Amino acid sequence: MSLLKFWQKQAKKTAGAASPFKKNRLKTKLQILTILVIFGGGWYSYEVYIARPAMAFEGIPKHQDWKMELTTRVIRNEAFMVGYSEIFGNPLWVKYQVLPKPDNIQRLPRPDRFVHDWRSLRCWLHFPCVNHDDYTGTGYDRGHMAPNHVIATRYGQNAQHQTFLMTNITPQRPNLNRRAWQRLEEIAANHFSDNLGAFWVVTGPIFDEKPQFLPGYKMIAIPKAFYKIFIREAEDPNEPPKVLAFIMPQNLNGNEDLSDFLVSVRDIEQQTGLDFFHKLDDAVEAYVETLIDPQSWQFNQRIANQRARY
């Protein structure tokens, strides 16, 4: 037998001996892949069909513009959900439920810094990731959309810390953030909560067609105004939900009569391109989204003119 034939024969024997091992390794890889597919599919189904709908009264807000819908990432936290724009570096909508005030309310310490949210695609790319220092020295506050106080007192410390994720933050002028906006949040946390029970809030920024941006290369868009929608079930199940909505521009002194900023949900939809309560019956949706009804929320002149704490 020639040397060449000998080595060819030995190679065939080796290949034959190794094939069961290769088959087992391939089988193991397929099993792992199958487990990952099943786990991923189960997680996706739970997230989309169970977890998110439970935190989105009458539907997750939808964009009428497919490009905005495509670039908005839905991020679910423990106590609130965010529609985060990877293009604008802002939450376009935030949705949460205000529960009745607990009897023994706890005042949790406020975190010192805001933190980036690794779930943002910007942070996957690293360099455009929005963080605490991007707002420093810009003249704009880091404006919470899901508020620190309400989330902390209703849902606890971990949920509170999530309100300091930058996916919940948008540029707000100090007079708006610390005064007018704070006044509206305090009305929700106290007056509405004490008198009306649980209700839902949808809130977020409104942008010009071509918005300005904070200084730097991160392309963090500056809103021209902000909206806040309150909605709750009526006491009579045969009646439509009760809705109250506001739009507040950035350039406020902070002590204005808040009733001056009452609008309909339809006004907000026209300015944001969002469809908020699309799960409602069409006729009911059309009715509640065109209504301005402060009486159903006991929102009177005294409440509308409460002073800011700051």
Instruction: Identify which of 223, 216, 195, 204 has the alpha carbon closest to the alpha carbon of residue 265.
Output: 204
Q: Record the tokens describing residue 276, joined without a space.
A: 């908020």
Query: What pLDDT is recorded for position 22?
Result: 63
Q: Is the pLDDT of residue 18 over 90?
A: no
Distance in angstroms (rounded) separating the CA atoms of residues 92 and 66:
14
Concerning whether 144 is annotated as a catalytic residue, the answer is: yes
Give the mean pLDDT of the chain.
89
Please state the φ and ψ torsions of residue 3, each to the nearest 5 degrees: -60, -35
Q: Which CATH number applies to 59-304?
A: 3.40.570.10
Distance in angstroms (rounded) separating the CA atoms of residues 291 and 303:
20
Torsion of CA 251, 253, 258, 260, to 10 degrees: -60
Query: What pLDDT is recorded for position 103?
Result: 83
pLDDT tens figures, 27-80: 776 667 676 666 556 657 887 778 778 888 888 999 988 888 888 999 999 999
pLDDT tens figures, 148-167: 999 999 999 999 999 999 99
Q: Is the pLDDT of residue 88 over 70?
A: yes
Residue that wins the pLDDT comparison between 235 and 186:
186
Average pLDDT over residues 247-263: 96
pLDDT tens figures, 205-230: 999 999 999 999 999 999 999 999 99
Q: Record the tokens describing residue 39, joined without a space.
A: 């786990």
Distance in angstroms (rounded) separating the CA atoms of residues 307 and 183:
7
Average pLDDT over residues 20-33: 68
* pTM of this structure: 0.86
Q: Is the pLDDT of residue 297 over 60?
A: yes
Average pLDDT over residues 82-109: 92
Strand residue runs (E) in the chain: 62-63, 72-76, 80-85, 90-98, 141-144, 169-172, 199-206, 225-232, 242-249, 262-263, 274-275
Query: What pLDDT is recorded for position 76?
Result: 95
Name the residue ranges covered by the structural domains of the chain. 1-54, 59-304
Of the listed 144, 149, 161, 278, which one is catalytic?
144
Q: Is the pLDDT of residue 309 over 90?
A: no
Average pLDDT over residues 255-282: 96
Residue that wins the pLDDT comparison between 25 and 144:
144
